[in-house]
Amino acid sequence: MSDLKRKILSAVESDLEDIEKALSDNLNPYLDLVSDVAGHILFSGGKRLRPLLMVLSARMCSYNGNYEKTFSTALEYLHTATLLHDDLVDGATLRRGKTVAHATWGNSITVLVGDYLLARALSISAGTGRLRVVQVLAELTENMSQGEVHQLMRKGDVKLTEDEYLVVIRRKTAVLFKAACQVSAIIADAPEDKEKALSEYGFNLGIAFQMADDLFDYTLQTSDFGKEVGADLREGKLTLPVIYALKQANSSDRDLMIKIIRNTDFTTDDFKTLLDLLVKYGGIDYTQETAASYIDTAKNALALFEPSPTKETMLDIADYALARRV
Amino acid sequence: MSDLKRKILSAVESDLEDIEKALSDNLNPYLDLVSDVAGHILFSGGKRLRPLLMVLSARMCSYNGNYEKTFSTALEYLHTATLLHDDLVDGATLRRGKTVAHATWGNSITVLVGDYLLARALSISAGTGRLRVVQVLAELTENMSQGEVHQLMRKGDVKLTEDEYLVVIRRKTAVLFKAACQVSAIIADAPEDKEKALSEYGFNLGIAFQMADDLFDYTLQTSDFGKEVGADLREGKLTLPVIYALKQANSSDRDLMIKIIRNTDFTTDDFKTLLDLLVKYGGIDYTQETAASYIDTAKNALALFEPSPTKETMLDIADYALARRV
C-alpha cells in the first residue's frame, strides 16, 4: 500500500466503518434475493469514494445534523445501480475481480435490482428534506443514462474526438462526483460560494478519475485491475489514450491501430503492438498530463476553505485519484 | 367503441390532448436516439390512464395551480420505463401491437432509456415542490421493481397461492394507480380524508385493472390485445384464473393443466384444452367476480366527494377497467 493511501485510510477509518454499516442498514428490501444481488457488487470491496466525498464535504461545511452517513449511501446505491446496468450493457464478465451479477442471476433480475437501487437512492435523498437534493440527483441520473447511451452510439467509431469523449465522461462520471460534493453542501446549508467550490472540486476530480480509469485499461495487469485489461477496447470503447494517439499517428501506424481496434478478437500480441503505438504517439503521457491538470483544478477549487484535517484529506484524495493502482 | 368508452372519451377529450402535448414537451433528452426509443412505446397508443387519473384527482380536490398536466407525465414516464424494462425481463415480442423496443434497439439502449425515463419522472415530481410527492414516487418504484423480481422468482411455480399473486400485483400495478391519485391530492393540498379516499380508489382500481389484464391473456384475440394471447403462460407467469382453477380441479385435470403449463412450447390445442379447464373450474368467473368486487370498493371510496362531472368520469373509468376490451 502506498504511503498516500495509508494516510488517507487512517484519516477516514471510522467514517468508512460508519458508511459500511449504513450501506447494509439502509438497503432495506423485502426480498432476500434483492439483497443478494445488490450485495454481490455493493459489498465487493468498492472504494466508497462517493459516500466518503459526501461525508467529507458535509464536514467541510460544518454540517451539524446526523443524516450524512445515511445520506451518503444514496450515491453509492446509485453508483451500484449504474454498475449493474452498465456491466449488462457492456457485456462485461468481471467487476472488482468477481463474476458480474448478470452472469449469475441473469439480465432480468439484474435490471430490476438496478431499478430498485436507483429508487432507494432517491428515497434516501428525499429523506434529507431538501427538494434541491432530489433535483440534483434526478438530473444526475438523467445525465448518466444519456452519457451511457451516447457512448454506446459512438462505439467503435475511430473518429470520436477528444471533445466528444469529454462530453461522455462528464455525463457518465463527473456529474456523480460533482453531485456527491454539492448535495452535502446543500444539506449543510453552506453559502453559495462553498457549494460552488465543492461542486467544482467534485466535477474535476470526477473527470480525472475517469481518465485514470481509462488509462488503467492499458497500463495495469488484470490481477490488479479487478477487470479484464483491454476490455474497453474489446467493447469498442475508445478512450483518450487511443483518441490522442490516433490523431498524432502517421497514416500507416493509424491504419494499423484501426485494424487492431476493429478486430474485437485481437490477440495479446496485437494489444502489445497497440500499446507500443499509444506510448510512441504520447497517448498515455497526454492522458496522464490532462488528468493531472484536472486534479490541479480540483485542488485549487478548495482554496477558499481554511486549512483543516478534512481539507487535507480531500486534497490527498485528489492526488490519490491519479497515483492509485486501481 | 362501447358507449361507456365514448362517454369517458368525450368527457376527457381536452385533458387527453393536453396530456399528449405535455408528454412530448417534457421528455427533454439531449440525444435524439433517446426520444426515438422512448417515443416508440410512449406514443404507441397507450390509454394515458395514469396521467388522466392524476388530472382528474387533482380536479376532484379543487387544485388551482397549473402544473397538473406537466406533473401527470411523471407517472406515464415511470410506467413507460417499467414497460421497457419489463418487456426485456419477460422476453416479450409485441407490445400494443408493435415490436418491443429491445428487439429494435437491443437490450443495452433499452435499459438505459428506461433509466432515463425513471429519472425524468423523479425530476418532474421534484418540480411539484413537495417532498412527499417524491417520497411516494420513489417508494412506488422500489415496490414495483421488487414486485417484478418476486414474480420472476415464482415463475412457473404451480404452487403459487392467490395471496402471493395479490402481493405481486399490488406491488407491480396497484401501487402505481394508487400513487397517481394520491400525489394529485397532495399537490392540491387536499385534506387527509380526501387523500386517503383517492388513494383507496386508485389502489383498488389498480388491482382490478391488473386482474382484467391477466384475464385478457385468456379471453381475447391477439389482434385485439396488441400482445400475444397466452404470453403470460408461455413466460411461466401464473395468474389468478390459473391459480384458482388449479386449486379447484380434480387430480387428473390438475395434472393435465400442470403438464400444459410446464411445456412452454404448448400448441394451440393445448392452450384450448387449458382454457376449457379454466372455464370448467370457474377460474375465469372467479377472477371476473373478484375484480368486480375491487371495482366496487374503488367506487365506494369516492363516496365522500360531492357529485360532479369529474367524479362521474372517475366512476365510469372504474367500470370501464373491467368492461374494456384491452
Between A58 and A237, the higher pLDDT residue: A58
Note the pLDDT of residue A228.
65
| Predicted ipTM of the assembly | 0.89
Q: How far is CA A285 from CA A67, A213, A295, B149, in A?
A: 42, 14, 15, 46
One-letter amino acid identity for A134? V
Note the pLDDT of residue B101.
80
Which of A214, A90, A83 has the alpha carbon at shortest distance from A149?
A90
Contacts of B114 in chain A (CB under 8 A): 111, 115
Note the pLDDT of residue B254.
97
Nearest residue of A to residue B89 by CA position?
Answer: A108
Contacts of B112 in chain A (CB under 8 A): 85, 89, 145-146, 148-149, 152
d(CA A100, CA A217): 18
Residue with cell 504511503: A3
Between B95 and B218, the higher pLDDT residue: B218
Taking residue B191's Cβ as centre, other Cβ atoms within 10 Å add up to 12
CATH no. for A6-323: 1.10.600.10
Sequence-ordered list of residues with C-beta below 8 angstroms from that of B198, at least 6 positions apart, any chain:
B57, B60, B61, B181, B182, B184, B185, B190, B301, B302
Q: How far is A288 from chain B (nearest CA, A)?
A: 30
Which of B104, B116, B125, B175 has the alpha carbon at shortest distance from B145?
B175
Cβ-contact B85, B107 below 8 angstroms: no
pLDDT band per the 50, 70, 90 thresholds, residue B266: confident
Measured between CB atoms, which of A90, A118, A123 is closest to B118? A118
Cβ-contact B214, B240 below 8 angstroms: yes
pLDDT band per the 50, 70, 90 thresholds, residue A46: confident
Contacts of B30 in chain A (CB under 8 A): 146
> Chain B interface, mutation test: which of A26, A125, A145, A187, most B Cβ atoms within 10 Å?
A145
d(CA A141, CA A83): 13
pLDDT band per the 50, 70, 90 thresholds, residue A289: very high
A126–B129 C-beta distance less than 8 A: no
Maximum pairwise Cα distance, chain A = 62
Task: Determine phi and psi for A93, rounding to 5 degrees.
Answer: -115, -25
A30 touches chain B (CB under 8 A): yes
Strand partners, A94: A99
Tell me the mean pLDDT in the region B229-247.
Answer: 90
Note the pLDDT of residue A221.
63
**All three cell numbers of A193:** 460560494
pLDDT band per the 50, 70, 90 thresholds, residue B166: very high
A152–B112 C-beta distance less than 8 A: yes
What is the DSSP annotation of A117-133?
A: HHHHHHHHHHTTT-HHH
Region of A325 (left: φ > 0; alpha: ψ -120 to 50; beta: rest) is: beta
What are the domain boundaries of chain A?
6-323
Quick check: B172 pLDDT over 70?
A: yes
0.80 cut: is pTM over it?
Answer: yes
Q: How far is CA A165 from CA A91, A147, A158, A172, in A?
A: 21, 10, 12, 11
B112 touches chain A (CB under 8 A): yes
Note the pLDDT of residue B90.
65
CA B295 to chain centre: 15
Taking residue B303's Cβ as centre, other Cβ atoms within 10 Å add up to 8
Between B228 and B272, the higher pLDDT residue: B272
**All three cell numbers of B195:** 387523500
H or E element that contains A98: strand A98-99
Note the pLDDT of residue B225.
56
Measured between CB atoms, which of A111, A137, A146 is closest to B34? A146
List, for residues A235-255, the tens digit of each pLDDT value: 888 999 999 999 999 999 999
Note the pLDDT of residue B231.
80
Q: How far is A154 from chain B (nearest CA, A)?
A: 12
A145–B122 C-beta distance less than 8 A: no
> Chain A interface, mutation test: which of B102, B115, B151, most A Cβ atoms within 10 Å?
B115
Which of A198, A216, A220 has the alpha carbon at shortest distance from A208?
A216
Note the pLDDT of residue A224.
59
**All three cell numbers of A182:** 454539492
Note the pLDDT of residue A101.
80
Cβ-contact B148, B89 below 8 angstroms: yes
Tell me the mean pLDDT in the region B13-18.
Answer: 96
Q: What part of A 304-323 touches B (C-beta under 8 Å)?
A: none
Scanning chain A, the segments in alpha helix (DSSP H) are 3-25, 32-42, 49-60, 68-90, 101-126, 131-153, 162-169, 175-187, 192-219, 222-225, 231-234, 240-248, 251-262, 268-280, 283-301, 309-323
Note the pLDDT of residue B202.
98
B109 touches chain A (CB under 8 A): yes
**All three cell numbers of A119:** 429508487
Cβ-contact B290, B243 below 8 angstroms: no
Q: Please state, rounded to an integer, the average pLDDT across all residues of chain A.
A: 92
Quick check: B227 pLDDT over 90?
A: no
Alpha-carbon Rg for chain B, nearest whole angstrom, is 20
Note the pLDDT of residue B304.
96
pLDDT band per the 50, 70, 90 thresholds, residue A81: very high
Note the pLDDT of residue A161.
96
CA B87-A80-B176 angle, to 5 degrees, is 45
Tell me the mean pLDDT in the region A215-237.
Answer: 76
Q: How far is CA B150 from CA A87, A303, B142, B217, in A?
A: 23, 51, 12, 20
Torsion of CA B170, B172, B178, B181, to 10 degrees: -160
Which of B55, B53, B3, B5 has the alpha carbon at shortest distance from B320?
B5
Q: Fill in the DSSP letter of residue A170.
A: I
Nearest residue of B to residue A140 by CA position?
Answer: B119
List, for residues A172-221, the tens digit of each pLDDT value: 899 999 999 999 999 999 999 999 999 999 999 999 999 999 999 898 76
Map chain B to HEC letters.
CCHHHHHHHHHHHHHHHHHHHHHHHCCCCCCHHHHHHHHHHHCCCCCCHHHHHHHHHHHHCCCCCCCHHHHHHHHHHHHHHHHHHHHHHHCCCEECCEECHHHHHHHHHHHHHHHHHHHHHHHHHHCCCCHHHHHHHHHHHHHHHHHHHHHHHCCCCCCCCHHHHHHHHHHHHHHHHHHHHHHHHHHCCCCHHHHHHHHHHHHHHHHHHHHHHHHHHHHCCHHHHCCCCCHHHHCCCCCHHHHHHHHHCCHHHHHHHHHHHHCCCCCHHHHHHHHHHHHHCCHHHHHHHHHHHHHHHHHHHHHHCCCCHHHHHHHHHHHHHHHCCC
Tell me the mean pLDDT in the region B283-304.
Answer: 97
pLDDT band per the 50, 70, 90 thresholds, residue B300: very high
Contacts of A119 in chain B (CB under 8 A): 118, 138-142, 145
Q: What part of A 126-185 touches B (C-beta under 8 Å)?
A: 126-127, 129, 131, 134-135, 137-142, 144-146, 148-150, 152-153
B122 touches chain A (CB under 8 A): yes
A150–B109 C-beta distance less than 8 A: no
Nearest residue of B to residue A115 by CA position?
Answer: B145
B107–A107 C-beta distance less than 8 A: yes
Alpha-carbon Rg for chain A, nearest whole angstrom, is 20
d(CA A120, CA A34): 12
Is the alpha carbon torsion for A243, A244, A247, A253 positive or negative? negative
Quick check: A223 pLDDT over 60?
A: no
* Structural class in CATH, domain B3-323: mainly alpha
